[in-house]
Amino acid sequence: MGTIKGSYFTDVGGRSENEDSFLLIHREDRGCCALVADGLGGHGGGAAASAKAKDIIEECFLSEEIKSPEEFNVWFQKANQEVINMQTPDIEMKTTLVVLIIKNKNAMWANIGDSRLYHFRNGELVEQTFDHSVSQMAVLRGEIKQEEIRGHIDRNRLLQAIGRTDTIKLDYSDRVSLDGAEHAFLLCTDGFWEYVTEAEMEKDLRKSDSPNEWLEKMKKRLEKRTRNIDNDNNTAVAIMYK
């Protein structure tokens, strides 16, 4: 059984409130659960939505076990219904959501929105989640390159989110075996990945012995780039499995 280490940070950036939420918990019998959520909607709606989604997923994680990635649909749908129920005529509440579960040398994850999960094996990026945004679609249509999503005009146009419609379409991974290699996971909201490139994530990972160290290095880059601008809330959860 490999060892799991995790770390996190969240920052309000240049905004007046932090609408991101995150989760990082580990239970002997249930494994490890990591989550980030980026809330949208004025008047505190975003913060409420992302916090509610986090609470629901936490509840689900602690009370039931899912055997396969498709079952994330159940958790996400629960979160979706709760956030929809919270809506008022004046306040629209939505949130992105990324959830990772590691148990018994296996990992699986699911996402909706444009918060991301990056998976590194032996220091190399092997996969990242698809954004549910118009920019991601432009990449698929061959109009722009993946790297050009950062700063793209349609980056904020979400095609899927929690709290928008009764039916949601999420992406989920295969069940990934972690045996026989060192793995790292980075869950982050767009306020974070906007300012740190994938190449830099890899570079900093290779030079770090702990998730905390890794996050600190990446945070420095972000801070340097956002020194004079009103950047978005940014949140990241890092996990290392050895």
> How near is the Cβ of 215 to another protein at its closest, in Å?
25
Binding status of residue 145 toward another protein by CB under 8 A: no
**Considering beta carbons, is residue 190 or 204 the nearer one to another protein?**
190
Binding-residue pattern over the window 17 to 56 for another protein, x denoting contact by CB under 8 A: -----------------------xx---------------
**Interacting stretch for another protein, rule CB under 8 A, among 6-14, 25-33, 117-125, 131-139?**
131-139
d(CA 132, CA 113): 5
In the complex, least distance from residue 59 CB atom to another protein, rounded to whole angstroms: 26
Q: Of the candidates 150, 172, 44, 49, which has an alpha carbon nearest to the alpha carbon of residue 101?
A: 172
Q: Which segment (78-86, 118-126, 153-161, 202-210) binds another protein by CB under 8 A?
A: 153-161
Min dist. Cβ of residue 141 to another protein (A): 6
The answer to whether 150 contacts another protein (rule: CB under 8 A) is no
HEC per residue, the chain? CCCEEEEEEEECCCCCCCCEEEEEEEECCCEEEEEEEEEECCCCHHHHHHHHHHHHHHHHHHHCCCCCHHHHHHHHHHHHHHHHHHCCCCCCCEECEEEEEEECCEEEEEEECCCEEEEEECCEEEEECCCCEHHHHHHHCCCCCHHHHCCCCCCCCECCCECCCCCCCCEECCCEECCCCCEEEEEECHHHHCCCCHHHHHHHHHCCCCHHHHHHHHHHHHHHHCCCCCCCCEEEEEEEEC
Q: Which two tokens stand for residue 110?
A: 């699911």
Contact between 6 and another protein per CB under 8 A? no
Under the binding rule (CB under 8 A), the answer on residue 159 touching another protein is: yes
Min. distance of Cβ 101 from another protein in angstroms?
24
Cα–Cα distance, 188 to 41 (Å, whole number): 19
82 to 121: interface string for another protein, x by CB under 8 A: ----------x-x---------------------------
Under the criterion CB under 8 A, does residue 130 sit at the interface with another protein? yes
Stretch that binds another protein, among 51-59, 65-73, 157-165, 199-207 (CB under 8 A): 157-165
Binding stretches for another protein (CB under 8 A): 40-41, 92, 94, 130, 134, 137-138, 140-141, 153-154, 156-159, 161, 164, 169
